[in-house]
């Protein structure tokens, strides 16, 4: 292969490194209205009255919207397949507010300052309702957050259960009873925020034909079009969504967050509108990772082979249920797709509370699965006196294994049978063992104030959502043998435009600079479900490969016609007759345009897959615990990944290198506490600490040699996998260093100190 596996420079790289005007906000709109949201200051209340007259009277205020301006229509803001698997429980503006940050009203004004001032002039009388912040309490409380009729898809509104899942294979009770060893543990993962450096921003205007244009920082342009059309009650044909370059998303932009608000303003006033979240709004009024409280029970036989995996999930959805069912499903699917056990069972409830809204965040339920699972595997290894790496090697799924959970637990419905065609997780573990200095670190006796430890964890993810995710591509040829590649796939900063260009270039036998990529514009590109679930390389990449093959077949057909030789074949960028005659791609296209057998050479294709091959990862963490202060410093992370054939090694490394600090943030530095009224406390980057350049440990990133037969050129996904294993690798290393088992993230020094003094370890 000439292009696949090469460190091709990003197709958008020069524009980005120059700081060119490529992001959503980098255009100037004349006569634009600035939109600001009035967020609820209370966690649960009925709006008794809302008086906008003073705000409306302020000079420069064009429009003020409250719940009275919209008919009652429930939808979900989750940018997912349709019909959506989650509840429809949200209105554009509602007469009840359900968390601190919920939308009460929004204002459109001539300047941002006027819009902000107008918010302060809106008079709202709240009838405060009792609040629930705890998931277990929510299920037994007599307060119901979503009892209104007209909402749909809620599992049990009376008990605040947005979503429920249960599945069992084998007989879990019997198997556990007859197992030689049984280990049980309850662990929790917290609220964390995606914290893309570009905040959510959306601009709208009416084009010359009075169609609504939405330029927005989104991962899901086609879902934006569908949902805005539904909420505004206008046809899809009246909307064009443009996704420019995106300043990071990580799942946070798999959401219709504010697009419907600016759409409402533009449709009402006829004027362009702009909304941009502040960092503070990002932290409490966008979306967060769902906290989960997960209990695992693992059974083993006398040979340390797993007999049973039983897990119970309590997912905190916050006030509304976008992604409620599917995040929890992913927790279960990924937890049960790592190790082979004859009996498996899952029981899960996604529960409403008066806290901010859970959404999609890189890993999408998988980090919530692997922190508990891999911690308990570590406990089990210690208790059974077996090396943690060996225990994993004994129990992981192998090539050819059927993964039974995939069939019974799909995306909100039954899934599809799944066979593992590629896994190099064993190789990842072995390579990581060498690179981390595992043997030596494990054998060192730790004494003194600073104690070092090393820990390991493995994880899997998926490559797209089987049977649901679909991507399409269109390729047309130009007379200099360049090609326009138009894809619905959404590059949110990952470099997927480049990876897709590499796939097209490889098929067509041209260099990547001959591929001109244009992505994610609902008027100009074919459909794609969007950039989530690690789908772009695997699903959209397969569509590109097929479209390029179709285009290439047409080049050959034209070449044969022009050469008048039906035995001619493509060699490089020529069609060669074998009779001394040949014709270049350039000449084929030029003649096809202007003189002979005239037509546009082009190819189009779609791709959907019933497979979702898991990428795998083994992460090794070396930490140092200060036994005087309880602080944990991560010294080194070794991350070895099986992502199938790597399309672009440097970009793939970048995905891993970026995923690790997000995981370390959840483990050590990102903390989102609330006061007793449900008000968030950490509302800026000073208090909500994401990893900085100085915080970073040494990273060692490697890829296993791997080939996935169902993927484009053997590729699997790489975007989400790095975020799953670092948390348990770090906490297992902490245990190795000081004998303290961390069960609740983030790690807090006082917990380590408390446990150490209880253990008498000091």
Partner 1 sequence: MTIQFELNGHLVQANSLPGSTLLEYLRSDEIHSVKHGCDHGECGACTVLLDSRSVNACLILMHTVNGRKIETLESFSTHEELHPLQKDFLHEGAVQCGFCTPGMILSLEALDREGSEIKETNVRDALNGNLCRCTGYVKPVKAALATLQKSSSTGGDS
Which residues sit at the interface with partner 1, rule CB under 8 A?
Answer: 7, 9-10, 12-23, 25-26, 28, 194-199, 245-248, 250, 276, 278-279, 492-495, 650-651, 653-654, 657-662, 684-686, 690-694, 696, 699, 701
Residues 6+ apart with CB under 8 A from 168: 343, 344, 345, 346
- Supply the Cα-derived Rg of the chain in whole angstroms: 27
| Smallest distance from partner 1 to CB 691, Å | 7
Supply the minimum distance, in Å, between the C-beta of residue 628 and partner 1.
Answer: 25
CB of 50 to partner 1, least distance (A): 28
- Which lies closer to partner 1 via its Cβ, residue 280 or residue 604? 280
Secondary element (H or E) of residue 485:
strand 483-487
Q: Is the peptide bond before 7 cis (omega within 30 degrees of 0)?
A: no
* Cα–Cα distance, 230 to 246 (Å, whole number): 25
Render 512-564 in DSSP notation, one character per residue: GGGEEEEE-BTTTS--B--S-TT-IIIIIHHHHHHHHHHHHHHHHHHHHHHHT
Q: Which is nearer to partner 1, 494 or 535 (CB)?
A: 494
Nearer to partner 1, 53 or 278 (CB): 278
Q: Least distance from C-beta 500 to partner 1, angstroms?
A: 16
Distance between CA atoms of residues 118 and 95, nearest Å: 20
* Nearest CB to partner 1, comparing residues 346 and 459: 459
Walk across the sheet containing 582-584 and list its strands: 569-571, 574-576, 582-584
Shortest distance in whole angstroms from residue 339 CB to partner 1? 29
Instruction: For the CB of residue 495, give the shortest distance to partner 1 in the complex, in Å.
Output: 7
- Considering the complex, state which of residue 24 and residue 405 has its C-beta at the smaller distance from partner 1: 24
Centre a 10 Å sphere on the Cβ of residue 53 and count the other Cβ atoms it contains: 10
Say if CB 348 and CB 368 are below 8 A apart.
no
* Cβ–Cβ under 8 Å, residues 200 and 252: yes
> What's the number of CA atoms in the CB half-sphere (13 Å) around residue 670?
22
- Min dist. Cβ of residue 16 to partner 1 (A): 3
Nearer to partner 1, 41 or 654 (CB): 654
Please calculate the CA angle 333-427-499 and round it to the nearest 5 degrees.
70
Written as six digits, the tokens of 247 are 């300043």
**Nearer to partner 1 (CB atom), residue 248 or residue 342:** 248
Q: How many CB atoms lie within 10 A of CB 697?
A: 19
Q: Give the three-state DSSP class for 146.
A: coil
Min dist CB 3 to partner 1, Å, is 16
Half-sphere exposure of 684 (CA within 13 A, CB side): 1
Nearer of residues 133 and 671 to partner 1, judged by Cβ? 671
Cβ closest to partner 1, residue 157 vs residue 492: 492
CB of 195 to partner 1, least distance (A): 6
Q: Of the two residues 498 and 592, which places its CB atom closer to partner 1 in the complex?
A: 498
Looking at the Cβ atoms of 71 and 694, the one nearer to partner 1 is 694
Fill in the DSSP letter of residue 408: H
Query: For residues 677 and 131, what is the distance between their CA atoms, to the nearest angstrom?
Result: 8
127 sits in which H/E element: strand 123-128
Residue 403 — φ and ψ, nearest 5°?
-105, 95
Residue whose C-alpha is closest to residue 158's, from 167, 170, 149, 169:
149
Q: How far is the CB of 283 from partner 1 (least distance, A)?
A: 10
Q: Minimum distance between the CB of residue 184 and partner 1, rounded to whole angstroms?
A: 35
């Amino acid at each position: 292969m000439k292009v696949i596996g090469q460190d091709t420079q990003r197709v958008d790289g020069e524009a980005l490194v120059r700081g060119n005007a490529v992001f959503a906000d980098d255009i100037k709109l004349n006569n634009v209205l600035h939109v600001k949201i009035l967020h609820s200051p209370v966690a649960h209340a009925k709006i008794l009255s809302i008086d906008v007259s003073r705000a409306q009277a302020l000079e420069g205020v064009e429009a003020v919207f409250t719940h009275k301006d919209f008919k009652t229509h429930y939808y979900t803001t989750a940018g997912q397949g349709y019909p959506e698997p989650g509840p429809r429980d949200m209105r554009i503006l509602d007469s009840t507010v359900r968390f601190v940050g919920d939308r009460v009203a929004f204002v459109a004004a001539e300047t941002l300052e006027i819009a902000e001032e107008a918010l302060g002039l809106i008079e709202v009388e709240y009838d405060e309702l009792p609040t629930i912040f705890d998931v277990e309490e929510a299920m037994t409380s007599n307060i119901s957050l979503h009892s209104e009729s007209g909402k749909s898809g809620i599992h049990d509104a009376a008990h605040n259960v947005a979503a429920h899942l249960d599945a069992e294979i084998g007989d879990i009770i019997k198997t556990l009873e007859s197992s030689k060893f049984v280990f049980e543990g309850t662990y929790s993962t917290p609220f964390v925020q995606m914290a893309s450096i570009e905040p959510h921003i959306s601009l709208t205007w009416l084009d010359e034909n009075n169609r609504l244009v939405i330029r927005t920082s989104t991962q899901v342009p086609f879902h934006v079009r569908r949902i805005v059309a539904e909420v505004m009650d206008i046809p899809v044909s009246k909307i064009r969504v443009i996704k420019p370059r995106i300043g990071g998303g990580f799942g946070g932009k798999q959401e219709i967050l504010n697009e419907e608000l600016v759409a409402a303003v533009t449709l009402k006033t006829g004027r362009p509108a702009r909304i941009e979240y502040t960092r503070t709004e990002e932290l409490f009024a966008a979306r967060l990772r769902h906290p989960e409280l997960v209990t695992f029970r693992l059974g083993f036989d006398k040979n340390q082979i797993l007999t049973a995996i039983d897990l119970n999930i309590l997912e905190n959805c916050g006030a509304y249920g976008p992604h409620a069912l599917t995040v929890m499903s992913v927790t279960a699917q990924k937890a049960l797709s790592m190790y082979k056990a004859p009996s498996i069972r899952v029981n899960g409830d996604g529960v409403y509370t008066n806290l901010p809204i859970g959404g999609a965040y890189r890993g999408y339920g998988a980090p919530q699965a692997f922190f508990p699972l891999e911690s308990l595997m570590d406990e089990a290894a210690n208790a059974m006196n077996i090396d943690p790496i060996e225990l994993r090697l004994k129990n992981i799924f192998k090539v050819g294994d059927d993964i039974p959970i995939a069939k019974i637990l799909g995306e909100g419905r039954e899934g599809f049978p799944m066979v593992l065609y590629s896994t190099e997780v064993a190789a990842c573990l072995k390579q990581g063992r060498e690179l981390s200095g595992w043997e030596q670190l494990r054998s060192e006796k730790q004494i003194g104030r600073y104690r070092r430890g090393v820990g390991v964890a493995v994880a899997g993810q998926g490559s797209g959502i089987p049977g649901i995710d679909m991507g399409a591509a269109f390729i047309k040829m130009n007379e200099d043998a360049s090609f326009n590649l138009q894809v619905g796939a959404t590059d949110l900063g990952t470099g997927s435009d480049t990876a897709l260009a590499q796939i097209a270039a490889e098929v067509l036998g041209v260099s990547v600079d001959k591929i001109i990529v244009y992505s994610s514009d609902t008027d100009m590109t074919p459909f794609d479900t969007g950039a989530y679930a690690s789908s772009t390389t695997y699903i959209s990449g397969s569509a590109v490969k097929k479209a390029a093959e179709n285009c290439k077949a047409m080049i050959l057909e034209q070449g044969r016609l022009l050469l008048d030789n039906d035995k001619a074949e493509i060699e490089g960028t020529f069609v060669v007759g074998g009779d001394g005659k040949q014709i270049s791609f350039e000449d084929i296209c030029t003649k096809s345009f202007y003189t002979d057998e005239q037509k546009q050479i082009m190819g189009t294709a779609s791709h959907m897959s019933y497979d979702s091959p898991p990428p795998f990862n083994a992460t090794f963490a070396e930490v140092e615990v200060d036994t005087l202060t309880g602080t944990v410093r991560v010294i080194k992370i070794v991350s070895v990944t099986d992502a199938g054939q790597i399309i672009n090694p440097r970009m793939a490394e970048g995905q891993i290198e970026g995923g690790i600090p997000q995981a370390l943030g959840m483990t050590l530095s990102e903390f989102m506490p609330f006061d007793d009224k449900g008000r968030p406390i950490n509302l800026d980057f000073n208090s909500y600490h994401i990893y900085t350049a100085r915080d970073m440990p040494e990273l060692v990133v490697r890829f296993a040699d791997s080939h996935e037969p169902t993927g484009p050129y053997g590729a699997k996904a790489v975007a989400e996998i790095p975020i799953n294993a670092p948390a348990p690798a770090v906490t297992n290393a902490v245990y190795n260093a000081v004998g303290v088992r961390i069960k609740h993230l983030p790690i807090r020094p006082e917990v380590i100190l408390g446990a150490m003094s209880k253990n008498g370890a000091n």
